[in-house]
Structure 1
Amino acid sequence: MTIAYVRVPVANVWKDPDRPRENDGVFLERHPSVSNWLSRLDEEKDGRLGLVGRLETQLLLGEPVWVKEEINGWAHVFIPGQPHHEEQRGYPGWVPAHHLAYHPDFHHAWESHPFAIVTALKTGLLIDGAQRTVEIGWLTRLPFIGEANGDAIVMTPTGIPGRVPAEHVHVGRTLPVAAADRRIETARRFLGLPYLWGGTSVYGMDCSGFVYRVFEACGIRIPRDAHVQAAFGQRIERDSLEPADLVFFAYEQGKGRIHHVGMYVGDDHFIHAPRTGLPVQVQSLSQDAPYAEEFCFGRRYDGSEFPASIPLTADMVGEET
């Protein structure tokens, strides 16, 4: 396998190359626009709902992947930063190969430099020499190589330096572990954000992608999917829930397969990304259906369950694209 890095602001990871539909084509272009893609989905009745079974997850600019193979312009990848219950190499899926890049300078900087981690919801990345600014989102991390005139100088995956407003980033290899109140405050920043199946970006998230990114922003690494998130951490029963505990919901009145996750915020309420058509919101744990009937248990993560990062070492690395 080879190592590569995402070269677009947001990359969709598909179940297989045959899953994208005609209205997804705009997001397969070399320079995809998240906003244009979502606008096209919203123009169709089942545009967003139709992503179920098609879209697996998303990646942000600079995130690393293992590339197993490339077939007809598609890269079969594993995502080391998104733990998966069946695959030690990380979350599996398929990405258009031209959404990935490998440059030795970026690879070296990724392994050895501190990161400029975006803390603003959205900001601009000015790519040196290109005279264009690319919109990038929350939790995008790029190697930090210096600061000048109020900008953080970063390395982009194609090996070209870029600039991001220094006030919009945190510089460090990881983000500090945050207390429960900070996790809730972080989650509340996304009240009203539209639901997006497979989403993990500020343009839209699903239930598990939402808590996955919130915990990442608070220095705690957890699995990507709800049923796997429910298998780790400390199990917490209903009467012992504390703010920032994850709460899980299952079919068959809480006794069947886990299908949903949110974060407890106290006073018998939780915050979550419900489903297609409903935005991130706070709801009652005991009064609002179907959650009152489907609650099964909580989990408490303190930051010690998973390593903060996975070293990217391999016998081979990717070629520049």
Structure 2
Amino acid sequence: MTIRYACVPVANLWTAPEKVREVDLPSLGNPEGFHDWLGRMDLDRRKGLYGRLESQLLYGEPALVLEEREGWVRVCLPRQFTHKDSRGYPGWVPAAHLGFTAEYHRAQEEGPFIFVTAYRSHLTLKKGETLTVSFMTRLPKMDEKDGEVIVLTPQGEKGRIPVCDITVTHRPPVTAPTARVETARRFLGLAYLWAGMSSFGFDCSGFVHRVFEANGVSIPRDAGDQFRFGQKISSTEELLPGDLVFFAHEAGRGAIHHVGMAIGDNRFIHSPNTGNPVRLNNLADEPYRSEFCGGARYDGTEPLE
């Protein structure tokens, strides 16, 4: 088993190569193809991602390679905890979207790192090429000059990113739960994307995963696991801002299918579903009142194993 790193701003993690549709083909190409793909999909095609797309990797994120087949790589994502595989979230990625250099690999062990804390940022590479990278992209810091931080890219070359868009640390510090609410509010109006893990589009669990990550707390990738590993909250009266709230089929008694984050006054923020962007709702609203099945609290000390 070897390790490689995402070398495009957002790499899709597919259920299987055979699940890719014709409309998805641009996303398999160069970095600009990802944006073309997003722009091509109407509402029905976005809904059609269910059962096809599993998750996403951000630029520089590691993947453990399990198998290679005809331009594709089967991987696990060690930074995305799941019950599906103890090694990380499983799926398939185009081989061209992953790379490896010894220098970048060494830098991953040393730090410090820049974390993109802006909604999005622009990474300038050699010859002026620019990549638009997502919130919570992490790259090794090399230097700082003229209002820019010099970073090492997965391709082993240096790039520049504005100081105002990042924070430098080995790991984001654990903040007060109310800080999670402030972070989440920045994404109000962002379009939903099934399996989305970037600020180009989140699904419900990907949204809270990145918000918690930005505030120093590691939580699992999917809603069911997020419920399982947090400190349980049984009623809405016990909820505090920054807690997770969960919703299940069969009037709250079945399988968990949705997650949001409490913000106070019986309200929560969430990325609802295809066609509905990140927004606020009241827990008394339907169907949320009927489907509420509990909450979970994370303080950053929970073991994910």
TM-score interval for Structure 1 and Structure 2 normalised by the shorter chain: over 0.9
1:2: which partner in 2? 2
Quick check: 1:18 aligned with 2:15? no
Q: Distance in 1 between matches of 2:161 and 2:254?
A: 46
Q: 2:55, 2:196 within 8 Å by CA — same for their partners in 1?
A: yes
Q: 1:222, 1:306 within 8 Å by CA — same for their partners in 2?
A: no
Q: Aligned AA for 1:155?
A: L
Q: Aligned AA for 1:70?
A: E
Q: Aligned AA for 2:60?
A: G
Once the two structures are superposed, residues 183-234 of structure 1 have per-residue CA deviations (whole angstroms, 9 ceiling, x without a partner) of: 0000000111111000011111110001011101111000000011010121
Once the two structures are superposed, residues 108-166 of structure 1 have per-residue CA deviations (whole angstroms, 9 ceiling, x without a partner) of: 011112111111111111113x3211111110010001111111010000100111011
Moved over 4 A (4+): none
Instruction: Note the residue ranges of structure 1 that are not aligned, 5 or more in a row.
Output: 311-321
Q: Distance in 1 between matches of 2:207 and 2:152?
A: 27
Once the two structures are superposed, residues 170-193 of structure 1 have per-residue CA deviations (whole angstroms, 9 ceiling, x without a partner) of: 111101111111100000001111
Q: Aligned AA for 1:38?
A: L
Q: 5 Å matches for 1:96-111?
A: 96-111=94-109
Instruction: Note the residue ranges of structure 2 that are not aligned, 5 or more in a row.
Output: none
2:201: which partner in 1? 204
RMSD (Å) for aligned C-alpha atoms: 1.2
Q: TM-score by structure 1 length?
A: 0.93
Q: 5 Å matches for 1:46-61?
A: 46-61=44-59
1:183 is aligned, of 150, 175, 180, to: 180
Q: Distance in 2 between matches of 1:291 and 1:84?
A: 25
The sequence identity of aligned pairs, in percent, is: 52
Q: 1:8, 1:32 within 8 Å by CA — same for their partners in 2?
A: no
2:160: which partner in 1? 163
What is the deviation of 1:38?
A: 0.9
Once the two structures are superposed, residues 248-267 of structure 1 have per-residue CA deviations (whole angstroms, 9 ceiling, x without a partner) of: 01111111111110001111
Q: Distance in 2 between matches of 1:113 and 1:261?
A: 33
Q: Distance in 2 between matches of 1:100 and 1:161?
A: 17
Q: Aligned AA for 2:185?
A: R
Larger relative contact order (CA 8 Å, sep ≥ 6): 1
Q: Aligned AA for 1:153?
A: I
Quick check: 1:218 aligned with 2:218? no
Q: Distance in 1 between matches of 2:96 and 2:249?
A: 40
Q: 1:34, 1:203 within 8 Å by CA — same for their partners in 2?
A: no
Q: Aligned AA for 2:86?
A: Q
What is the deviation of 1:54?
A: 0.3
What is the deviation of 1:32?
A: 4.2
Q: 1:221, 1:306 within 8 Å by CA — same for their partners in 2?
A: no
What is the deviation of 1:33?
A: 3.2
Q: Secondary structure at the match of 1:23?
A: helix
Q: Distance in 1 between matches of 2:163 and 2:232?
A: 39
Q: Distance in 1 between matches of 2:32 and 2:61?
A: 16
Matched residue count: 304
Q: Distance in 1 between matches of 2:55 and 2:84?
A: 15
1:228: which partner in 2? 225
Once the two structures are superposed, residues 42-68 of structure 1 have per-residue CA deviations (whole angstroms, 9 ceiling, x without a partner) of: 2xx511000000000011000001001
Q: Distance in 2 between matches of 1:21 and 1:86?
A: 25
Q: 5 Å matches for 1:1-321?
A: 1-42=1-42, 45-128=43-126, 130-238=127-235, 239-286=237-284, 288-306=285-303
